[in-house]
Chain A
Amino acid sequence: MARLSKEERKISIMTKALELFSTEGFYQTTMPSIAEKIGMSVGNLYNYFTSKEMLAKDLILYIANILGEEIRKINESPLSTKEKIDAIVHMYFKIAQERPETIEYFLRVYLSNREVFQNCCEGMICVSAFVTELMIFFEEGVRCGDLRDQDFFSAFGLFMGYLGGMVFLNGEKILPKSLESYELSISDNIYHALKSR
């Protein structure tokens, strides 16, 4: 088997760390526990990430890039604005189902422990790839007349707050039905809330 490059090895470490962070929380997860899960020495782990905070920062960048890349594909597709909303909701819930640790990390580590990120991820820097694509989605939706012109964060909060909230409820096992069964009604709700009158 070919030897992993340093970058591939970093991603492999991040994938394992993600599972720990999203289930145990930021403070319960330690560099030794991450090293143990991966099966490498703590000293070697520090060769890849100089601190737990730097690892946490790289993880949010990694997740924002995954989500951003998915939304970019949707933005660049010939879909209508309504169909793009459907596609974004579907993509988000699919990732939440198939790779729950990514959304869990976003909600339970990044958003819940802002003090960890304040010195290396000011404002939206570390989630720029994701937020930029939503900016483009909203801007194009308004430009073509499908969406109502309003403050970006009002629309952003409505869209992503809604999706994040549903994934959170699902994670808490509060939802009576499966996440995907809500897709259609949620994307309809988002479209009706945002569409031009």
Chain B
Amino acid sequence: MPSNPAKLKIIWLQGITCNGNTHSFLNDPSLGRLLESVEFIHHPLLACTLNLSELVEHLPASDILIIEGSYKADFERAYRRMDSVLPALAAKAEHIVSLGSCASFGGIFKEADPERISGIVFDREKALGPLAEMMPKVITLSGCPVHPKWLTFVIDMIRAGKAISVDEFRRPKELYAYLVHNGCLRNEYFEWKVDSDRFGTKEGCLFYAQGCQAPFTHGSCNKILWNEVSSKTRSGTPCFGCTEPSFPKRELFSTKTYMSIPAEVPLGVPKRSYLALTGAAKSFHIKRLEERLIDDNA
């Protein structure tokens, strides 16, 4: 790497979005360091070279094109349709980052118009988006929102000229090979099938009743902690499965069951094996796991 490398030129363009990923990005404690090594040609909030009108007029080349938000062909940015802006910017970009579940798979906004709204490469799990043919240069960072460090990781890898190993949805394996379940502090409760009967407590597993999707959701939320301190499951809220193409599902705070049996079992585990193991684990009562960890009344 050169001793004083040129700053990476980044365009951050928003489609149909709630700005969640923009705000998440601003929470990265290393943002100051990052801003010294990149130049935003356009960003919705940060200082940049071109405003939105100038961006859609000039359609400049970039090292990284970051797209935040769902795609809809006739959605306009500065009075230009996305189907004229996005492919032109994408063609001139060295790398493309699909930032957030809306840009990646359609996300929550797809619910409003499922036939016409999609991600930029994937429409849910199918590669039918407008940039499907450019897939080899796209990195998918799904999440609602994306952890700021996941984006920083990708920008750092691109700046260092390193290849990023990806899964079938172009998500970096370094970030998405894990399940959200990995690193969850409630794993011991999961092992012994001790349920949590409410939200916000330190004790119990949220998988059996509270809707937690961590055992079949890819992401490193419990490895790279949010705000460097916590995660949904650590704070007592179920994982909503926001990194998966199936997001959002319905009834996120309750586990779908059929005759008391979870409709989805941990990823890759045969249902029969899971049920046999569950039945065995439920046969034991571990007093320590049924008590409060910190009992103020003790």
**Would B261 and A131 count as touching, CB distance under 8 A?**
no
What are the residues of chain B within 8 A of A125 when measuring CB–CB?
279-280, 283
B275 contact from A136, A141, A142, A150, Cβ within 8 A: A136
Question: Is there a chain B Cβ closer than 8 Å to A70's Cβ?
Answer: no
- CB contact list, B242-291 vs A, under 8 A: 257-261, 263, 271-272, 275-276, 279-280, 282-284
Q: Are A132 and B276 in contact (CB under 8 A)?
A: yes
| Other-chain contact of B279, A124, A139, A140, A149 (Cβ < 8 Å) | A124
Verify if A54 is at the interface (C-beta below 8 Å from B): no
* Residues of A in contact with B, size category: 20 to 34
Assembled-state Cα–Cα distance A141/B263 (Å): 12
Task: Report chain A residues within 8 Å CB of B283.
Answer: 122-125
A147 within 8 A of B: yes
Bound Cα distance from A140 to B279, whole angstroms: 17
Q: Is the CB of A132 within 8 A of B259?
A: no
Asked if A142 and B276 sit within 8 Å, CB to CB, the answer is no
Q: Taking the complex as formed, is A46 at the interface, i.e. its CB lies under 8 A from any CB of chain B?
A: no
CA distance A153 to B284 in the complex (A): 18
Question: Which residue from B258, B271, B272 sits with its C-beta under 8 Å from A142?
Answer: B258
In the complex, residue of chain A having the shortest beta-carbon distance to the beta carbon of B260 = A152
A188 to chain B, nearest CB (A): 20
B259 to A142, Cβ gap below 8 A?
A: yes
Within 8 Å of chain B (Cβ to Cβ): is A143? yes
Q: Does A40 contact B (CB under 8 A)?
A: no
Complex interface: chain B residues within 8 A of A151 (CB): 259-260
> Which B residues lie within 8 Å of A141 (CB)?
259
- Whether B284 lies near A128 (C-beta < 8 A) is no
Cα A133 to Cα B275 in complex, Å, equals 9
Q: Is the CB of B282 within 8 A of A150?
A: no
Q: Is the CB of B276 within 8 A of A128?
A: yes
Q: Which of A109-145 contact B (CB under 8 A)?
A: 122-125, 128-129, 131-133, 135-136, 138-143
A124-B260 contact, Cβ under 8 Å, with A129-B276, A132-B275: no
Known: A147-B259, A155-B259. A136 touches B271 (CB 8 A): yes
Contact between chains at B275 and A135 (CB < 8 Å)? yes
User: Is there an interface contact between B259 and A131, defined as CB atoms closer than 8 Å?
Assistant: no
Docked complex Cα distance between A124 and B258 (Å): 20
Whether the pair A135, B261 counts as a contact (CB closer than 8 A) is yes
What residues on B are CB-neighbors of A149 within 8 Å? 257-259
Q: How far is the CB of A68 from chain B (nearest CB, A)?
A: 9
Name the distance in Å between B250's Cβ and chain A's nearest Cβ.
15
Expressed in whole angstroms, the Cα–Cα distance for A1 and B271 within the complex equals 43
Chain A residues in 8 Å Cβ range of B263: 143
A51 CB to nearest B CB, Å: 21
**Contact: A152 with B272, CB < 8 Å?**
no
- Closest Cβ of chain A to B280, distance in Å, is 5
Chain B residues 139 to 190 lying within 8 A of chain A, measured CB to CB, are none
Closest to B282 in A: A123
Contacts of B284 in A (CB 8 A): 122-123
Task: Sample 22 A-B pairs with CB under 8 A, ordered by A number.
Answer: A122-B283, A123-B282, A123-B283, A125-B279, A125-B280, A128-B279, A129-B276, A131-B279, A132-B276, A135-B259, A135-B261, A135-B275, A136-B271, A136-B275, A138-B261, A139-B261, A139-B271, A142-B259, A149-B257, A152-B259, A152-B261, A155-B259
Complex A-B, nearest 8 residue pairs according to Cβ-Cβ distance, in ascending order: A123-B283, A152-B260, A142-B258, A138-B259, A122-B283, A139-B261, A139-B258, A132-B276
Given contacts A136-B275, A138-B261, 15 further A-B contacts (CB under 8 A): A123-B283, A124-B283, A132-B275, A132-B279, A139-B258, A139-B259, A139-B261, A140-B258, A142-B258, A142-B259, A147-B259, A149-B257, A149-B258, A149-B259, A151-B259
